[in-house]
Protein backbone atom coordinates (compact mmCIF):
# COMPACT_ATOMS: atom_id res chain seq x y z
CA UNK A 1 0.00 0.00 0.00
CA UNK A 2 1.58 3.35 -0.95
CA UNK A 3 2.45 5.43 2.10
CA UNK A 4 1.20 9.01 1.77
CA UNK A 5 2.48 10.40 5.02
CA UNK A 6 5.49 9.83 7.23
CA UNK A 7 8.75 11.32 8.42
CA UNK A 8 10.79 8.85 6.33
CA UNK A 9 9.28 9.92 3.00
CA UNK A 10 12.12 10.19 0.41
CA UNK A 11 11.44 13.63 -1.11
CA UNK A 12 12.24 13.90 -4.80
CA UNK A 13 13.93 17.00 -6.24
CA UNK A 14 13.16 17.71 -9.90
CA UNK A 15 14.87 20.01 -12.41
CA UNK A 16 11.80 21.82 -13.71
CA UNK A 17 7.98 21.79 -13.94
CA UNK A 18 7.95 19.23 -16.78
CA UNK A 19 9.98 16.70 -14.84
CA UNK A 20 7.86 17.33 -11.75
CA UNK A 21 4.66 16.83 -13.76
CA UNK A 22 5.97 13.53 -15.17
CA UNK A 23 7.00 12.38 -11.71
CA UNK A 24 3.55 13.17 -10.28
CA UNK A 25 1.76 11.33 -13.11
CA UNK A 26 3.90 8.25 -12.47
CA UNK A 27 3.28 8.24 -8.71
CA UNK A 28 1.17 5.38 -7.36
CA UNK A 29 -0.80 7.51 -4.90
CA UNK A 30 -4.07 5.56 -4.76
CA UNK A 31 -3.83 3.38 -1.70
CA UNK A 32 -5.01 -0.22 -1.84
CA UNK A 33 -6.07 -2.77 0.76
CA UNK A 34 -6.92 -6.43 0.29
CA UNK A 35 -9.86 -7.13 2.60
CA UNK A 36 -10.93 -10.59 3.74
CA UNK A 37 -14.68 -11.23 3.75
CA UNK A 38 -15.15 -14.58 5.55
CA UNK A 39 -18.91 -14.53 4.94
CA UNK A 40 -18.22 -14.59 1.20
CA UNK A 41 -15.20 -16.90 1.48
CA UNK A 42 -13.13 -14.54 -0.63
CA UNK A 43 -11.07 -11.36 -0.60
CA UNK A 44 -11.93 -7.99 -2.10
CA UNK A 45 -9.43 -5.33 -3.13
CA UNK A 46 -10.42 -1.85 -2.02
CA UNK A 47 -8.77 1.01 -3.87
CA UNK A 48 -8.81 4.70 -2.95
CA UNK A 49 -11.09 6.69 -5.22
CA UNK A 50 -9.59 8.61 -8.13
CA UNK A 51 -10.42 12.26 -8.63
CA UNK A 52 -13.22 11.36 -11.06
CA UNK A 53 -14.74 8.70 -8.79
CA UNK A 54 -14.41 10.98 -5.76
CA UNK A 55 -16.34 13.74 -7.56
CA UNK A 56 -18.94 11.20 -8.66
CA UNK A 57 -19.43 10.05 -5.08
CA UNK A 58 -19.62 13.58 -3.63
CA UNK A 59 -22.25 14.55 -6.21
CA UNK A 60 -24.17 11.36 -5.41
CA UNK A 61 -23.99 12.10 -1.66
CA UNK A 62 -25.26 15.66 -2.14
CA UNK A 63 -28.19 14.41 -4.22
CA UNK A 64 -28.89 11.69 -1.64
CA UNK A 65 -29.02 14.25 1.17
CA UNK A 66 -31.57 16.30 -0.73
CA UNK A 67 -33.92 13.37 -1.34
CA UNK A 68 -33.34 10.93 1.53
CA UNK A 69 -31.96 12.95 4.47
CA UNK A 70 -33.18 11.43 7.73
CA UNK A 71 -34.53 8.30 6.03
CA UNK A 72 -33.18 4.71 6.31
CA UNK A 73 -32.57 4.65 2.56
CA UNK A 74 -29.88 7.31 2.97
CA UNK A 75 -27.39 5.06 4.75
CA UNK A 76 -28.12 1.90 2.79
CA UNK A 77 -27.65 3.72 -0.51
CA UNK A 78 -24.62 5.65 0.74
CA UNK A 79 -22.61 2.65 1.95
CA UNK A 80 -23.39 0.62 -1.15
CA UNK A 81 -22.40 3.44 -3.51
CA UNK A 82 -19.04 4.10 -1.90
CA UNK A 83 -18.35 0.35 -1.69
CA UNK A 84 -19.32 0.00 -5.36
CA UNK A 85 -16.84 2.68 -6.36
CA UNK A 86 -14.00 1.37 -4.21
CA UNK A 87 -14.23 -2.43 -4.48
CA UNK A 88 -12.35 -3.99 -7.40
CA UNK A 89 -11.20 -7.47 -8.42
CA UNK A 90 -7.76 -8.22 -6.91
CA UNK A 91 -6.31 -9.26 -10.28
CA UNK A 92 -8.13 -7.28 -12.95
CA UNK A 93 -8.55 -4.14 -10.79
CA UNK A 94 -11.99 -3.70 -12.39
CA UNK A 95 -15.15 -2.75 -10.41
CA UNK A 96 -17.02 -5.73 -8.95
CA UNK A 97 -20.44 -4.25 -8.29
CA UNK A 98 -22.88 -2.49 -10.59
CA UNK A 99 -25.39 0.27 -9.89
CA UNK A 100 -28.28 -2.13 -10.35
CA UNK A 101 -26.91 -4.38 -7.56
CA UNK A 102 -27.90 -1.87 -4.86
CA UNK A 103 -31.40 -3.25 -4.14
CA UNK A 104 -30.24 -6.88 -4.14
CA UNK A 105 -27.40 -6.15 -1.74
CA UNK A 106 -29.46 -4.13 0.67
CA UNK A 107 -32.40 -6.56 0.67
CA UNK A 108 -30.58 -9.90 0.64
CA UNK A 109 -27.10 -9.44 2.09
CA UNK A 110 -25.57 -8.60 5.47
CA UNK A 111 -25.68 -4.81 5.83
CA UNK A 112 -22.66 -4.85 8.14
CA UNK A 113 -20.45 -6.19 5.34
CA UNK A 114 -21.54 -3.46 2.95
CA UNK A 115 -20.97 -0.81 5.61
CA UNK A 116 -17.52 -2.25 6.42
CA UNK A 117 -16.50 -2.11 2.75
CA UNK A 118 -17.89 1.41 2.44
CA UNK A 119 -16.14 2.67 5.57
CA UNK A 120 -12.85 1.12 4.47
CA UNK A 121 -13.14 2.88 1.10
CA UNK A 122 -14.03 6.09 2.91
CA UNK A 123 -10.89 5.98 5.07
CA UNK A 124 -8.55 4.97 2.22
CA UNK A 125 -9.94 7.81 0.10
CA UNK A 126 -9.73 10.40 2.91
CA UNK A 127 -13.46 11.04 2.68
CA UNK A 128 -13.60 11.15 6.49
CA UNK A 129 -12.57 14.85 6.77
CA UNK A 130 -8.88 13.94 7.04
CA UNK A 131 -8.19 15.58 3.66
CA UNK A 132 -9.57 18.86 5.00
CA UNK A 133 -7.49 18.48 8.16
CA UNK A 134 -4.32 17.93 6.11
CA UNK A 135 -5.06 21.04 4.02
CA UNK A 136 -5.76 23.04 7.18
CA UNK A 137 -2.45 21.96 8.75
CA UNK A 138 -0.59 22.91 5.55
CA UNK A 139 -2.08 26.41 5.63
CA UNK A 140 -1.59 26.88 9.36
CA UNK A 141 2.08 25.96 9.01
CA UNK A 142 2.62 29.22 7.13
CA UNK A 143 3.90 31.83 9.64
CA UNK A 144 2.11 34.71 7.89
CA UNK A 145 -1.21 32.90 8.16
CA UNK A 146 -0.80 32.34 11.90
CA UNK A 147 0.38 35.90 12.49
CA UNK A 148 -2.60 37.29 10.57
CA UNK A 149 -4.95 35.49 12.97
CA UNK A 150 -3.02 36.84 15.95
CA UNK A 151 -3.30 40.35 14.56
CA UNK A 152 -7.01 39.95 13.91
CA UNK A 153 -7.50 38.83 17.50
CA UNK A 154 -5.44 41.75 18.83
CA UNK A 155 -7.39 44.30 16.79
CA UNK A 156 -10.75 42.71 17.58
CA UNK A 157 -11.47 41.70 13.97
CA UNK A 158 -13.85 38.77 13.61
CA UNK A 159 -12.66 38.07 10.06
CA UNK A 160 -9.03 37.81 8.98
CA UNK A 161 -10.05 38.85 5.46
CA UNK A 162 -11.41 42.13 6.88
CA UNK A 163 -8.00 42.84 8.45
CA UNK A 164 -5.99 41.92 5.36
CA UNK A 165 -8.12 44.22 3.20
CA UNK A 166 -7.21 47.19 5.42
CA UNK A 167 -3.56 46.57 6.33
CA UNK A 168 -0.87 47.14 3.72
CA UNK A 169 1.72 44.46 3.01
CA UNK A 170 4.46 46.69 4.47
CA UNK A 171 2.53 47.18 7.71
CA UNK A 172 1.69 43.50 7.89
CA UNK A 173 5.38 42.59 7.64
CA UNK A 174 6.22 45.08 10.41
CA UNK A 175 3.54 43.59 12.63
CA UNK A 176 4.80 40.06 11.95
CA UNK A 177 8.33 41.06 12.93
CA UNK A 178 6.97 42.73 16.06
CA UNK A 179 4.90 39.70 17.05
CA UNK A 180 7.84 37.35 16.48
CA UNK A 181 10.06 39.58 18.63
CA UNK A 182 7.38 39.77 21.31
CA UNK A 183 6.95 35.99 21.31
CA UNK A 184 10.72 35.52 21.65
CA UNK A 185 10.80 37.97 24.55
CA UNK A 186 7.93 36.19 26.28
CA UNK A 187 9.67 32.83 25.92
CA UNK A 188 12.84 34.24 27.46
CA UNK A 189 10.84 35.80 30.29
CA UNK A 190 9.07 32.54 31.03
CA UNK A 191 12.39 30.69 30.96
CA UNK A 192 13.97 33.19 33.41
CA UNK A 193 10.96 32.90 35.71
CA UNK A 194 11.20 29.10 35.67
CA UNK A 195 14.89 29.21 36.55
CA UNK A 196 14.20 31.55 39.47
CA UNK A 197 11.54 29.20 40.82
CA UNK A 198 13.97 26.28 40.67
Closest by CA position to 35, among listed 94, 84, 88, 107 = 88
For domain 17-135, give the CATH number: 3.30.2220.20
- pLDDT for 113: 92
pTM: 0.59
| Residue intervals in the chain for CATH 3.30.2220.20 | 17-135
CB 110 within 8 A of CB 71: no
Q: pLDDT truncated to tens, each residue of the chain (198 aa)? A: 333 444 456 778 888 899 989 988 888 878 889 999 999 999 999 999 998 999 999 999 999 988 888 888 898 899 999 999 999 999 999 999 999 999 998 899 998 999 999 989 988 888 866 555 665 565 555 556 667 777 777 778 777 777 777 777 667 767 767 776 776 676 666 666 665 555
Amino acid sequence: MPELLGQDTPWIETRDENELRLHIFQAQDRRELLVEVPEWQTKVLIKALSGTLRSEFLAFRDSLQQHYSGKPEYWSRLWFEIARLGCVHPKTKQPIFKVEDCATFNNEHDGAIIEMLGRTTQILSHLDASASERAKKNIESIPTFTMAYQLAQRFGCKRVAYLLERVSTADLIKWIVYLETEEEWLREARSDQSEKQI
